């Protein structure tokens, strides 16, 4: 279930990035475009926190799966 949620988060981040690019192409740099880019950065950071392993080779995703 967690893997599906992380996949949906990444998909939504790429869609937000695409939407920001389309808005930039149509109207130039606007506040809404920058907010979309900021949301993408937050989503990428959150996914990285969950999946990047630490020095022991464990990540939050593997820890969440190993628990009963």
Name the percent of the chain lying above pLDDT 90.
Answer: 62
Contact partners, residue 44, CB within 8 Å, separation at least 6: 13
Helices (H), 1-68: 2-27, 31-51, 60-66
Residue 37 makes CB contacts below 8 A (sequence gap 6+) with: 17, 20
Domain ranges of the chain: 15-54
Q: What is the pLDDT of residues 14-35, one digit of tens each?
A: 999 999 999 999 988 889 999 9
**Torsion angle of C-alpha atoms 54, 46, 35, 28, degrees rounded to 10:** 60
Could you tell me which of 46, 59, 35 has the C-alpha nearest to residue 10? 46
SS3 25: helix
pTM: 0.80
* 65: pLDDT strictly greater than 70: no
Query: Residue 61: pLDDT above 90?
Result: no
Residue 12 has pLDDT above 70, yes or no: yes
């Amino acid at each position: 279930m967690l893997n599906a949620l992380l996949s949906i988060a990444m998909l939504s981040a790429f869609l937000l990035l695409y939407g920001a690019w389309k808005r930039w192409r149509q109207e130039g740099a606007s506040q809404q475009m920058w907010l979309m880019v900021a949301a993408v950065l937050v989503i990428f950071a959150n996914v990285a926190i969950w999946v990047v392993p630490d020095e022991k080779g464990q990540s939050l995703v593997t820890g969440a799966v190993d628990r009963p």
